[in-house]
Structure 1
Amino acid sequence: MIKTLLPFLLLMLLLNCQDGPKAAFNEEFVRANPNKELPFEKLMGEYQLDNDSKRRYKINITDTIKLIVKKDSTFIAENYLDYKTNSLQLKKLEGKLLYTNKFKESFLNFRSKGIDFNGGGGFEIYYRKKDSVLALYVYTPPLKGQEHGDYLRYIKIEN
């Protein structure tokens, strides 16, 4: 019985590990504390996709992929990843951001009629430890056949 069960269990273990490379949360970034005020003005600006995210999603390192957050809460994604097909879309996507910072929770999400940027997931706000530069972690839902989703890390460009 054990001789029959052991190969089956090994096969199941190997099949469970086939999600592909998931992002490791980089220790040089720390999540923004929702108990501290983070004014929307600090979120405004331009963010670029980091090289770690580009490697995991097999995007050419030289491709420019960015998010722009404007004063009126307009959100523009230039050359964005279509999470459903895992392919790069070389076009602009525009919508509005919803931002809540109530000192106990922070919430940043994208809304637009008929456009599904990241499967309805929110953005997590992080800081880079060494210089306090903001980073937006955009959750991507699991692809078909995957158990876990992933994230894309966009780092703010100082203006």
Structure 2
Amino acid sequence: MFLHKGEVLFRQGESGPLFELKSGLLKVVRVQEDGTASLLNLILPGEVIPHHSLISQKDYHGTAIALLPAEVEVIPEKQWYKGLSENPEKYREVALLLQTRLRMMQQRIDQLTAVSTKERVILLQNWFQQYFPGLSVKDVLTQEEIGQFVGLRRETVNRVLRHL
């Protein structure tokens, strides 16, 4: 399945299959009761999502939206969970997937704890460049999303980006 920039893969509160991102970039946003949206996560090629449903099925925690054109493989729930029960070695694969994701989240925490606001934005840009060479994070994420991702207000992100 192919998604164009801005297309929704799944919506918060729905349930359904798992997905493997083959190429592109997705964001996962969570909408609060008052309608405000928060960027929760960026999904990179090779990831199987939603992460919280890799071992047991749960409703989608957020809405996944393509930030770049994306190719996604649908993994039907019955096929995924049957494969887990028939082949315990798949649990090791799931553990490795989650370990990789945990390491990425640790990098994100490092970005949040960087001393200066400028350093936070630079660390995010460097991290982004590892996965999408030649693209700037500011060309893919809004200033509000960058701020949510590194714990800054949009106005601060705007000021930092002007000086980079």
Return the TM-score normalized by structure 1. Answer: 0.25
Return the TM-score normalized by structure 2. Answer: 0.24
More helix by share: 2
Highest Rg: 1 or 2?
A: 1
